[in-house]
Amino acid sequence: MASPQRTPEFRAEALRIALISGLSRKQVAADLGVFNAEPLDTTRSAQP
């Protein structure tokens, strides 16, 4: 089963939460209901 595509806005918000919350990326993904997700790429996702 293919993973659903995440919008750039969703990814940016997930990254923002991970960076400011102090939670692990794994915990943020679980909180958002994302499992087996590709890792958050802070360099690529943070750039405009």
Please calculate the CA angle 14-44-23 and round it to the nearest 5 degrees. 30
Whole-model pTM: value is: 0.57
* pLDDT-derived band at 21, boundaries 50, 70, 90: very high
* Per-residue pLDDT at 5: 73
**What is the arithmetic mean of pLDDT over 32-48?**
60
* Per-residue pLDDT at 39: 57
User: How far is residue 41's CA from residue 18's CA, in Å, rounded to a whole number?
Assistant: 11
